C-alpha cells in the first residue's frame, strides 16, 4: 500500500507524519519529532542537518544555513563551505533527512509526500518547494496550504460547513487564515501575516532587555561577544518558554564576561508580566492581521466555528489571552501546535491514497481547573472568584503555575480550594479538593504564593503551593479530578456548593482568607494613592457587610444590599467625599447587626 508522508517544511522547524492503519503517526528520531530546518557543515566538512547544525549557528555562521524557506523561489544561491547551493537544494537536504527518518521508523521505502507551504506562497515558491521534494527523492503528490493542513487535523471529516480561523505564530513568521470546509472541500477564504514576526523576535527583545540591564550595571555590552550573545540568546529562549507555564523564570549564566580580571556572572529573574510588557506591541500587530483576515473573509468573529492555534509561539499565554479576548471564544490547542500542520498533511496524504482516517485521539482537559481567589473587579472585592490555572481543551499532560499573594498583613495561612468549571464564580463550579498551607512568614499583605498544577494523562492532578520567599511548600494529589466532574450531576453539585458556602460560619472564612489574585497591581492602577487606605477600609467593610446578608432578617438584608450596592458603585470611581458618605451609613448598620 502507498505510504504518503505528510511534511511541514517550516522556516524554523520541520516535521513529518504519516497515517498507518487509520492512525496518525509522527516520524521521530531519538524520540524527537521536530527537526530544526538548519543545514550546516561541521569543522571537518561533514553535513549537519537539524539540531547539530542549529547548535553551531551562532558560532559558525559561515558554515550554517538557517531559514532557507524565506529564499524559496528566489533566483539566488547560498554558500556552504566552498559550494554554492540553490534554496531548493538546501530544502532538499532537510526533506531527505525526514525521508530517511521515516524509512528507518517504518522499515520500508517511502517515495511520496504531501508538503505544506504558507497560504501566501506564490506559484514560483510552490514550484520551488515541489522541486525540493523531487531533489530529495520524493514524488510530491500535492502541495497544500499550512492552514488547510492544520484545519484537516481538527476537522478531517467536516460534513457541514465549518469555518476555522488558524492563527499560526512560529519562530520567524506569523500567518492568520480563515478556512472554510464543507464535504471534503477546503478553501482558504483570507490570509494575512507578517513574514518577519515570530518567537525569534520575542527572544531578541528579552535579550536586549537583559543585556541593557547588564550593560548599565557593568558597562559591558554582552552583544559584542559572539559567544556571550549566543549563550544569552539560548537562555532567553529557555526563559521565554518557561514563562509560558511559570510566572517567573531565571536567566543564570556563569562567567559570561570579565572585568578588571574578575569573572562576571549574570543572574536575572524575569517576571511574566515584565516579559509580557516587552512583547505586547508585537502581539497587537498580529491581532490587526486577525481583524483584516476576518474583514477580507466578510465574517464576524462569532461566525467562526473554531479557532486553532499553530506554531510554537502560540503557546505564549499573552497571545492566547489577547486572542481569546478579541475573538470572544475558546481557542483550540488540543493538538500540539508544533505538530498539527504535519499531521494534517498526513491526513491529506491518506485521503489522496483513499485511506480512511480515524478521529485524532488526544487527551484533553474537558474543563478548566483553577482555585478560589479573592479578586478585585469592577470596583468590588469578590471572594468567590475563580482563578483559572489550566484552561479547558489543554492537551495532557498539562503543567501550569500562577502567582498569587496573601490578602492581609501577617496572614499565616492560605487555603487552596481547587475547582473545575467554566464560571468565573467558584460557586457555579465543582470543588475537587482543598488544603491549607500554614506557617507563612509574618509579613505584610502581598506575600507571594506560587500555585502549580500538574495534570497527567490519567487525570491525576497534583497541586503544589509554595511560599516564594521561604520555599515552604505543600502538595495535594487529587485522583481522577476529571472523572469526578463528568460523573456528577452539575446542578446538584451547584446547589450543594451554594448551600455549603451559605452555611459556612463567617468567622471560619475570615480566619484563613483565600489568597488574593494580582492584588495591589490592579487596585493601585485604579485607586489614587492618597485614597488607598480609605478604599482598603471600605473593602473590608464591604466584605463584612456582604457576609452578614445571609443571616440577616429580610428587612436588614434589603438595607444591606442597598447600601453595599451603593458602596460598590462608589468604589468603582472613588473620591474622598463619596467614600465618606457611602461608608458612614453602612458602618452604622454593620455595627448594629454585629452587636445584635
Catalytic residue among 146, 175, 200, 203: 146
Question: Is 253 within 8 Å of 232 (Cβ atoms)?
Answer: yes
Which three-class secondary structure state does DSSP give residue 339? coil
Beta-carbon neighbour count of residue 529 at 10 Å? Answer: 7
Binder among 170, 193, 433, 519 for ligand AMP (CB under 6 A): 170
Minimum distance from residue 274 beta carbon to ligand AMP (Å): 16
162-169 and 174-182 as β-strands: parallel, antiparallel, unpaired? antiparallel
233 is a contact residue toward ligand AMP (CB under 6 A) = no
Closest residue by Cα to residue 235 from 207, 264, 198: 207
- Judged by CB under 6 A, which stretch of 5-13, 130-138, 208-216, 248-256 contacts ligand AMP? 5-13
- Residue 69 annotated among the catalytic residues of the structure: yes
Closest residue by Cα to residue 312 from 331, 287, 340, 332: 340
64-65 and 78-80 as β-strands: parallel, antiparallel, unpaired? unpaired
Binder among 89, 175, 200, 568 for ligand AMP (CB under 6 A): 200
333 is a contact residue toward ligand AMP (CB under 6 A) = no
> Mask 63-92, x = binds ligand AMP (CB under 6 A)?
------------------------------
- In the bound state with ligand AMP, the residue whose beta carbon lies nearer, of 71 and 315, is 315
Between CA 129 and CA 68 the distance in angstroms is 11
315 is a contact residue toward ligand AMP (CB under 6 A) = yes
- In the bound state with ligand AMP, the residue whose beta carbon lies nearer, of 200 and 383, is 200
> Mask 28-67, x = binds ligand AMP (CB under 6 A)?
----------------------------------------
| Cβ neighbourhood burial of 282 (10 Å; 0-12, 13-18, 19+) | buried
Which three-class secondary structure state does DSSP give residue 281? helix
- In the bound state with ligand AMP, the residue whose beta carbon lies nearer, of 12 and 394, is 12
- Residue 363 annotated among the catalytic residues of the structure: no
313 is a contact residue toward ligand AMP (CB under 6 A) = yes
- In the bound state with ligand AMP, the residue whose beta carbon lies nearer, of 102 and 341, is 341
3 is a contact residue toward ligand AMP (CB under 6 A) = no
- Judged by CB under 6 A, which stretch of 115-123, 176-184, 237-245, 372-380 contacts ligand AMP? 237-245
Residues forming beta bridges with residue 430, ordered by sequence position: 420
Q: What cell does 114 get?
A: 504531501
Closest residue by Cα to residue 37 from 53, 23, 18, 61: 53
- Judged by CB under 6 A, which stretch of 9-17, 442-450, 501-509, 583-591 contacts ligand AMP? 9-17
Catalytic residue among 89, 131, 155, 168: 168
Binder among 17, 177, 244, 420 for ligand AMP (CB under 6 A): 244
Minimum distance from residue 296 beta carbon to ligand AMP (Å): 24
CA terminus-to-terminus distance, the chain: 85
b (16+ CB within 10 A) / e for 220-247: bebbeeeebbebbbebbbebbbbbbbbb
- In the bound state with ligand AMP, the residue whose beta carbon lies nearer, of 232 and 418, is 232
12 is a contact residue toward ligand AMP (CB under 6 A) = yes
Question: Is 316 within 8 Å of 244 (Cβ atoms)?
Answer: yes
- In the bound state with ligand AMP, the residue whose beta carbon lies nearer, of 199 and 421, is 199
240 is a contact residue toward ligand AMP (CB under 6 A) = yes
118 is a contact residue toward ligand AMP (CB under 6 A) = no
Strand order in the sheet with 430-438: 380-390, 369-377, 413-420, 430-438
- Residue 434 annotated among the catalytic residues of the structure: no
> Distance of CA 35 to CAs 203, 231, 513, Å?
20, 21, 49
Closest residue by Cα to residue 304 from 319, 290, 284, 315: 290
272 is a contact residue toward ligand AMP (CB under 6 A) = no
Q: What cell does 134 get?
A: 523531487
4-9 and 112-117 as β-strands: parallel, antiparallel, unpaired? parallel
Q: How many chain residues touch ligand AMP (CB under 6 A)?
A: 18
- Residue 8 annotated among the catalytic residues of the structure: yes
Residues forming beta bridges with residue 380, ordered by sequence position: 377
237 is a contact residue toward ligand AMP (CB under 6 A) = yes
- Judged by CB under 6 A, which stretch of 193-201, 277-285, 347-355, 548-556 contacts ligand AMP? 193-201
List of residues contacting ligand AMP (CB under 6 A): 10, 12-13, 170-171, 198-200, 237, 240-241, 244, 311-313, 315-316, 338
Q: Which residues are catalytic?
A: 8, 69, 146, 168
Amino acid at each position: 500500500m502507498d505510504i504518503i508522508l505528510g511534511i511541514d517544511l517550516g522556516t524554523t522547524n520541520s516535521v513529518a507524519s504519516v497515517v498507518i492503519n487509520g492512525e496518525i503517526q509522527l516520524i521521530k528520531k531519538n524520540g524527537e519529532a521536530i527537526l530544526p530546518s538548519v543545514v550546516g557543515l561541521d569543522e571537518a566538512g561533514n553535513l549537519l542537518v537539524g539540531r547539530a547544525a542549529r547548535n553551531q549557528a551562532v558560532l559558525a555562521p559561515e558554515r550554517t544555513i538557517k531559514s532557507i524557506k524565506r529564499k524559496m523561489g528566489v533566483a539566488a544561491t547560498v554558500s556552504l563551505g566552498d559550494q554554492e547551493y540553490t534554496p531548493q537544494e538546501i530544502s532538499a537536504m532537510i526533506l531527505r533527512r525526514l525521508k530517511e527518518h521515516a524509512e528507518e521508523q517504518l522499515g520500508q521505502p517511502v517515495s511520496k509526500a504531501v508538503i505544506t507551504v504558507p497560504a501566501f506562497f506564490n506559484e514560483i515558491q510552490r514550484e520551488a518547494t515541489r522541486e525540493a521534494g523531487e531533489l530529495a527523492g520524493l514524488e510530491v503528490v500535492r502541495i497544500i496550504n499550512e492552514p488547510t493542513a492544520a484545519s484537516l487535523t481538527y476537522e478531517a471529516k467536516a460534513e457541514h460547513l465549518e469555518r476555522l480561523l488558524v492563527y499560526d505564530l512560529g519562530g520567524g513568521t506569523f500567518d492568520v487564515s480563515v478556512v472554510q470546509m464543507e464535504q471534503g472541500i477546503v478553501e482558504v477564504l483570507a490570509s494575512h501575516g507578517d513574514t518577519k514576526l515570530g518567537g525569534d523576535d520575542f527572544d531578541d527583545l528579552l535579550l536586549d532587555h537583559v543585556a541593557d540591564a547588564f550593560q548599565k550595571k557593568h558597562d559591558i555590552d554582552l552583544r559584542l561577544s559572539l559567544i556571550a550573545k549566543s549563550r544569552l540568546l539560548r537562555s532567553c529562549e529557555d526563559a521565554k518558554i518557561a514563562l509560558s507555564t511559570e510566572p517567573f523564570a531565571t536567566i543564570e549564566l556563569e562567567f559570561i564576561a570579565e572585568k578588571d580580571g574578575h569573572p562576571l556572572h549574570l543572574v536575572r529573574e524575569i517576571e511574566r508580566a515584565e516579559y509580557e510588557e516587552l512583547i505586547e506591541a508585537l502581539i497587537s500587530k498580529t491581532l490587526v492581521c486577525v481583524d483584516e483576515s476576518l474583514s477580507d473573509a466578510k465574517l464576524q468573529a462569532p461566525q467562526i466555528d473554531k479557532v486553532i492555534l499553530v506554531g510554537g509561539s502560540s503557546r505564549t499565554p499573552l497571545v492566547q489571552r489577547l486572542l481569546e479576548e478579541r475573538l470572544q471564544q475558546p481557542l483550540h490547542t488540543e493538538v500540539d501546535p508544533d505538530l498539527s500542520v504535519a499531521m494534517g498533511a498526513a491526513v491529506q496524504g491518506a485521503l489522496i491514497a483513499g485511506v480512511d482516517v480515524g478521529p485524532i485521539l488526544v487527551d484533553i482537559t474537558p474543563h478548566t481547573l483553577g482555585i478560589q481567589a479573592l479578586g478585585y473587579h469592577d470596583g468590588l472585592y469578590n471572594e468567590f472568584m475563580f482563578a483559572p490555572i489550566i484552561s479547558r481543551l489543554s492537551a495532557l499532560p498539562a503543567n501550569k503555575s500562577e502567582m498569587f499573594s496573601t490578602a492581609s498583613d501577617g496572614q499565616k495561612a492560605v487555603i487552596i480550594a481547587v475547582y473545575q468549571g467554566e464560571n468565573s464564580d467558584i460557586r457555579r463550579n465543582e470543588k475537587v479538593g482543598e488544603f491549607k498551607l500554614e506557617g507563612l512568614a509574618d509579613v505584610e499583605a502581598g506575600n507571594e504564593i506560587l500555585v502549580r498544577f500538574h495534570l497527567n494523562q490519567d487525570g491525576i492532578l497534583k497541586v503544589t503551593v509554595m511560599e516564594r520567599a521561604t520555599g515552604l511548600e505543600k502538595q495535594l494529589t487529587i485522583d481522577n479530578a476529571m472523572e469526578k466532574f463528568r460523573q456528577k450531576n452539575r446542578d446538584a453539585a451547584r446547589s450543594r456548593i451554594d448551600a455549603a458556602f451559605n452555611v459556612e460560619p463567617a468567622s471560619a472564612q475570615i480566619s484563613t482568607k483565600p489568597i488574593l489574585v494580582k492584588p495591589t497591581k490592579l487596585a493601585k492602577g485604579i485607586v489614587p494613592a492618597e485614597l488607598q487606605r480609605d478604599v482598603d477600609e471600605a473593602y473590608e467593610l464591604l466584605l463584612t457587610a456582604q457576609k452578614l446578608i445571609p443571616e440577616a432578617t429580610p428587612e436588614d438584608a434589603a438595607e444591606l444590599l442597598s447600601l453595599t450596592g451603593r458602596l460598590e458603585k462608589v468604589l468603582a470611581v472613588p473620591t474622598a467625599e463619596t467614600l465618606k458618605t457611602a461608608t458612614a451609613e453602612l458602618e452604622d448598620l454593620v455595627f448594629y447587626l454585629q452587636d445584635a
